[in-house]
Structures are given as C-alpha cells and as structure tokens.
Structure 1
Amino acid sequence: MATLQELLAQKASLEKQIAETQREERANAIAKVKAIMSEHGLTLADLSQRAAPARSAEGGTPRKVAAKYRNGETGETWSGRGLQPKWLKAALADGKQLSDFAI
C-alpha cells in the first residue's frame, strides 16, 4: 500500500501533466481558430457581433424597414414588425381599425 507522501507526489505529478495538457490543447485550439479566421477573412470584431443586421441589396449598410402605420396625434410610427406599440394597442382596444393608421 502506498504512503500518503507517495500519493501526494503522484497527485502533484498528475496535476502538472493535466495543466500542461490543457495548455497544449488550448494552444492548438487557438491556432485552429486563427487559421479558420484567416481563411475566411474574419476579425475579432466579426466574432463580437451578436446578430447580423439586415443589409441592403448592395451588401453595405443595414437597411431600415419603412413605417407602415402612424399615430396621427404623436407622429409615432410602427413598421408592422415585432410587437405592436402601446399607442396602437390602446387605439385598437378603443375600437379603431389597423387600417385607420396605415400610411
């Protein structure tokens, strides 16, 4: 049976091997990522983008969706995408039609 000192020495040796293997695997992973980024012309800024915005047909700047509905009192607009704004929900609850706000 191994003594406590022998087991502790084995533990230290294994921890050292684990740390070295982790460093090597991390370095290999970084090299692979750099190679893929280089191959596809990517930068760190490309990786930090959460979602790609809609782009114009030319592929340049993001395009903005035109408003389809306007609040005549305040001038607020809604494109018809996403959740309905509070002003529109309130007006519809009061009996108005969506077509009343069409631009």
Structure 2
Amino acid sequence: MRSLQDLLETKAKLERSMRQQGKKRGAYAGAVKVGSPNHQARARTGLSQADFAARASISERTLRTWERGDQVSEESQRRILRLLREFCIEPARPRHAVRYRDQMTGSTWSGRGLMPAWLRAEMAKGRRLADFEARA
C-alpha cells in the first residue's frame, strides 16, 4: 500500500503535467458528473457504458451525451429508456415541476433557467411555447 507521501507526490506530478498541457485541474472534455441522474440510472444497471450502448444499439458517444444531460436523437432516447425499463429502472424525475414537455421525445423543462436547446429549436421551426405546456 502506498504511503500518504507517495500519493501526494503522485498528485503533484499529475497537476504539473496537466498545467503543462494547458488543462485546468479536474477538466476532461467528455467528463460526466458521476452524480448526474442519467449516469446514476445507467450505473444501476450494472453495465459499463460500452456494454449498455451495445445492448441499446447506440454509440458510446451518444450514451455519454445523454448521461451529461444533453439532447440526443428521439430514437436514441427511446432505445435508452427501453433498456432502462428492461432493468426495471425508471429515469430520474426532475426536481421542479415540469411546465413544458415535448410529447414526441419526452424532453421537459421546468420553466426555470435558460430555455433548453430542444425547445429553442422547435420554436425556431415556428411552434409556440403554448404548444408545449404540460398537461396536469
């Protein structure tokens, strides 16, 4: 087992190396916050990202995008949710009440914060915000 001193030296070397590469501490382009609800849902299946993506017939990149909470295609989202349901796992529920919902993709927005990209894209196509109001 390594001593505390060895671990601290290793940490210092890694930080120096990252500074030389111009990266901020803890930065990684494809990083997924381990606590993200989508990541946790996939992790509860016990499958790695590669195995989950293969079983859902999607790319690992698409799965990582979904785990970050970014928008993925409607078909990819359906495949992910179908596989989660096979494991009897429901995706995380939003913290705030949903005010706007896309019935086709299941994407939601609470109305808090910035308008999400999926809704901006739909409004650019000429749809109205009222078209997406969630039904009680």
The bucket for the TM-score relative to the shorter chain is 0.3 to 0.5
After TM superposition, the score normalised by the length of structure 1 is: 0.38
What is the TM-score normalised by the length of structure 2?
Answer: 0.29
Which has more radius of gyration?
1
